[in-house]
Chains A and B, each alone.
Chain A
């Protein structure tokens, strides 16, 4: 597995660190160094709150290689409270069905592992329902 590629993303994966545009104050995730709203340079780091709501979701019954053992699992597009959207798995789902608009918060979880004892384990963000 590609260790440097995952290592490079640690701030995003573990802490939802994106960027804020110094010109128009738009919040940016994932970081792209150029503001998608005003096209200005935007390299100022910004940590997102991890709060958001479900924009859309689906349940994976047939998984890509490396995720088979997790099926069925739920994937969502989450609209973060600060504006941007992010694709992530939902976790800690109770009996209540997932709904569009449902409030969720970021947690750190195991995303996948290499499948053998010496393989790398990739951790990163998932989202869980906000405790009422």
Chain B
């Protein structure tokens, strides 16, 4: 295997894009990434997407997007791993170039969610869980996370307000990200009084859906070094699965797949959690950010909320998360989210993150969580000078 690097990134603002289709969203991110990379062609296209078949009545996104962006005759496939589809596409692209089989790859995550009514989207999101034994019982995706959060609060004795800073930090950072769904800060008071979706999760614990696409160009490290770019090396890539249903886990409060995939990434990179300068965590819900921080070694089991309470997760803190808004404020267009995380880590490592720049960031981690923790993919990127 040869080392690889990211030489171009592109993204579109996450929003309700009534005038843009699935392929146009993907195309805009792809063209931005190609322009950033300074190249007109790549060997291959890996499309991360969760629900285009049901939400947009369009499958076969490999050919569909390749055709639209002018990559006809090139290899192109779609990768699906629920909410972790974005990172799965990135990892596939990384492995393809690292193996030597391909000399360049473009990974794009895209989700076009406003083509379907919201109740249908809620149902489609629930297909990431076990259809027979979770979704058919009337559980939404929010409900599954609520079941975990309720038990977590019960076992470890936290209050709902102890999770507030996860969302407050995300929104504070999203103010400065022109690609974020929300550019407005929120207060503790607003957090505590927000509409409860599924007790104890309220609307400000939860990330918003939206239309979005983000992309990255991957080439061998040797080629990247010859370019006039800040070189961002993919130092670690790990992936692991867990039971599809939460009720089948021996400990539903521990993201085993996050622990395993982060350990793979740490080992490949030769790094430990204390050496991570920033972490784009999968804060789909405040409880998920909590469990991710614990499983990746940034907090003891049951102590994740302490990092938020003590403001260790802000850009100047010990382990900054959601530095560009996270899923909570940047938005969560499910199959695109993992690629937004990669794009944002690259921005941080290039020192292009503006007001929410993490000082002297050199090592960034991104973790994309599929389902209720049943498919988790972790990447570590390192700035080379």
Contact = CB atoms under 8 A, between A and B. Distances in A.
Interface of A: 5-6, 9, 12, 30, 36, 55-68, 70, 73, 75-77, 84-89, 100, 111-112, 122, 124
Contacts of B252: 55-56, 77, 85
B107 to A, nearest CB: 30
Contacts of B150: 56-58, 100
B283 to A, nearest CB: 19
B63 to A, nearest CB: 28
Given A59-B198, A61-B198, A77 B247 contact: yes
B270 interface: no
Nearest to B117: A65
B138 A67 contact: yes
Interface of B: 119-120, 122-123, 126, 131-140, 142-144, 146-148, 150-151, 154, 195-201, 245-248, 252
Given A58-B143, A60-B140, A64-B138, A87 B133 contact: yes
Nearest to A9: B132
The 10 A-B pairs with the shortest beta carbon distances in the complex, nearest first, are A58-B146, A56-B151, A85-B247, A67-B138, A65-B123, A64-B123, A65-B119, A56-B147, A58-B198, A56-B150
B137 A87 contact: yes
Contact of B246 (A77, A88, A89): A77
A38 to B, nearest CB: 14
A51 B148 CA distance: 22
A111 B248 contact: no
Given A58-B150, A64-B119, A75 B137 contact: yes
A4 B245 CA distance: 22
A75 B197 contact: no
B248 A64 contact: no
Contacts, number: 108
B122 A124 contact: no
Contacts of A57: 147, 150
Contacts of B138: 60, 63-64, 67, 70, 73, 75, 89, 111-112
A66 to B, nearest CB: 7
B247 A62 contact: no
Nearest to A76: B147
Given A60-B143, A61-B196, A111 B123 contact: no
B198 A86 contact: no
A36 B243 CA distance: 10
The B contact surface, by secondary structure, is: helix
Contacts of B133: 30, 86-87
B247 A58 contact: no
Nearest to A56: B151
A30 B245 CA distance: 10
B151 A87 contact: no
A6 B140 CA distance: 19
A61 B119 CA distance: 13
Given A75-B147, A87-B246, A62 B142 contact: yes
Contacts of B123: 64-66
Nearest to A55: B151
B82 to A, nearest CB: 16
A1 to B, nearest CB: 11
Contacts of A61: 195-199
A76 B123 CA distance: 18
Contact of A30 (B132, B144, B246): B132
A5 B132 contact: yes
5 contacts: A12-B132, A56-B150, A64-B123, A87-B247, A122-B136
A111 B195 CA distance: 26
Contact of A58 (B135, B195, B199): B199
A50 B321 CA distance: 43
Contacts of A70: 138
Nearest to A85: B247
A39 B122 CA distance: 35
Given A30-B132, A30-B133, A87-B245, A63 B140 contact: yes
B59 to A, nearest CB: 19
Nearest to A36: B248
B142 A65 contact: no
B241 to A, nearest CB: 14
A11 B137 CA distance: 16
A84 B250 CA distance: 9
